[in-house]
Structure 1
Amino acid sequence: MDAVCIVCRNDLYDDEWDRYCCRPCQHRIDDNLAALAGPPVWQDTKRGRRLVSGLFAALPEELEPGARGAGPRISGSKSAPIPARMGPLNDSANGGLVNDLEEWVRDWASRGYATPCNGVRPQYRMDQAVTTLRFNLDTAVRRHEAINSFAEELQMIRGTCEALIIGAVPPRPLSAICPCGTRIKFHLDTPIRHCKSCGTDYGHHALIALAVATQAA
């Protein structure tokens, strides 16, 4: 039986059998990480301007009501100010998207191929987490049996940033607690997730059932 990439489920090439995911998937993971860090960089494409990096740094620009990273801000008025848009505020604050990535840094560190970093400012923490994960990615794709869960959660983080920046509603992640105590995040269309702590595989229906049980508890 041919070995398959646990991210895209395509067959691995003969020289990829020492990996859990194929090289194209590794490149996509690296691209998603790179897109989150650093200052905002826009690129002109056939479909218009596209933010190719600095997605996390662009979130604070979206806190002002009516603001958009690619366009002008709406001018103020003499009326009372409208509260800041809470989505970007929550996602760029401590404990938001930064913490989600730092959880993976701690997980990789517990396996011996990453070093947790200490920081205060969310942007610094994001940049350090991305740098650490990118530096150790080649090891993780060979040794981490839940690299598919990391790839999916990373795609969720990037999608959330992009949706908030263009003003769309980001997909709402669901959450379940594995009996081992580990939190598993997923979407309604997630086919399978792997608990990074105990190694249990959960199919789609099992994830939904686990989420319902978590909410009931």
Structure 2
Amino acid sequence: MDAPAACIVCATGLYDTEEQTCRPCTERVAANLRALPGPQGLYAQLADALHPGSSSGGPAVSGSRTAPLPVRLEVLNAMTERGPVLGPLEGWVRDWEQHGRATVDETGTLQQRLDHAVGTLRFNLNWAAAQHPAFADFADELHLILRRLRTATGAEKPPVKVPVACHCGQILRVSLDMDGIDCRHCGAGYGRDEMLHLTPTRRAAA
């Protein structure tokens, strides 16, 4: 008997009514898209996180011996036309346009462009989940965009990094969201399981 078809995003077995993506993964992608646009969306919230020391969780500036930068560069980059948010989203719109399922619109403000890109992706989401061969890549990239925005706006704190010892003695900093790490000192590579079994340093234990 043939093995049941599996979801291309999470590898869960599919029901007969599902084509290549399971319903929970499709709904999760839809929720991620809904979190982005509009005046209350995560993209608009970047403006409030732009200045250092803002309530978004950016680095505090009091007590610094040098003058702080006027803006947080990683947030400013996320707001730009070719940055890690609007750039990839409009890239997917261009991709879906080749399938006759979207229309690129690069007019208006960056917020308007973001809203249009998300709107057309949401409108065609069921088609993409069922038929687009790279839907898993889209879901993964959208997840990364959401994490970046939530971290920048303070909705999600960056994962805590713990210092561990490489076999050569070099200290590496790892977190639970990492797939692995390479030691720049000796070149040793550790997969996720190996990385999580490295010995924490005394600083981590403290």
**With structure 1 as the length reference, what TM-score do the two structures score?**
0.65
2:103 paired with 1:115: yes
- For 1:90 and 1:169, the matched residues in 2 are separated by 18
- Residue 183 of structure 1 corresponds to which residue in structure 2? none
Q: 1:11 aligns with which of 10, 13, 18?
A: 13
2:82 paired with 1:95: yes
Other structure's SS at 1:38 match: coil
Q: May I ask how many residue pairs the two structures share in their alignment?
A: 156
- Residue 32 of structure 1 corresponds to which residue in structure 2? 32
- Residue 167 of structure 2 corresponds to which residue in structure 1? none
Contact 1:58 1:69 in 2 (8 A): no
**CA apart distance, 1:159:** 0.3
- Residue 127 of structure 2 corresponds to which residue in structure 1? 139
- Residue 85 of structure 1 corresponds to which residue in structure 2? 72
Structure 1 counterpart of 2:126, one-letter code? D
Structure 1 residues 110 and 188, CA, compared in 2 at 3 Å: closer, same or farther?
A: farther
Residue deviations 1:165-190 (CA, integer Å, cap 9, x gap)? 118448xxxxxxxxxxxxxxxx9639
- For 2:30 and 2:104, the matched residues in 1 are separated by 19
Structure 1 residues 8 and 81, CA, compared in 2 at 3 Å: closer, same or farther?
A: closer
- For 1:15 and 1:39, the matched residues in 2 are separated by 36
**CA apart distance, 1:69:** 4.4
Q: 1:189 aligns with which of 179, 190, 196?
A: 179
Structure 2 counterpart of 1:10, one-letter code? T
Contact 2:56 2:152 in 1 (8 A): no
What percentage of aligned pairs have identical amino acids? Answer: 43
- For 1:81 and 1:189, the matched residues in 2 are separated by 33
**CA apart distance, 1:8:** 0.8
- Residue 138 of structure 2 corresponds to which residue in structure 1? 150
Tell me how large the CA RMSD over aligned residues is: 2.7
Other structure's SS at 1:3 match: coil
- Residue 51 of structure 2 corresponds to which residue in structure 1? 64
- For 1:145 and 1:30, the matched residues in 2 are separated by 18
**CA apart distance, 1:12:** 0.2
Structure 2 counterpart of 1:38, one-letter code? G
- Residue 45 of structure 1 corresponds to which residue in structure 2? none
Other structure's SS at 1:83 match: coil
Structure 2 counterpart of 1:134, one-letter code? R
Gaps of 5+ in 1: 41-53, 171-186, 191-204, 206-217
- For 1:189 and 1:102, the matched residues in 2 are separated by 27
How do 1:175-214 and structure 2 match up within 5 A? 189=179
Gaps of 5+ in 2: 160-176, 181-190, 192-206
Contact 1:20 1:147 in 2 (8 A): no
- For 1:37 and 1:69, the matched residues in 2 are separated by 18
| Bigger shift: residues 151-160 or 161-170 | 161-170
Structure 2 counterpart of 1:95, one-letter code? R
**CA apart distance, 1:118:** 2.5
Contact 1:67 1:74 in 2 (8 A): no
Residue deviations 1:153-211 (CA, integer Å, cap 9, x gap)? 000000000001118448xxxxxxxxxxxxxxxx9639xxxxxxxxxxxxxx9xxxxxx
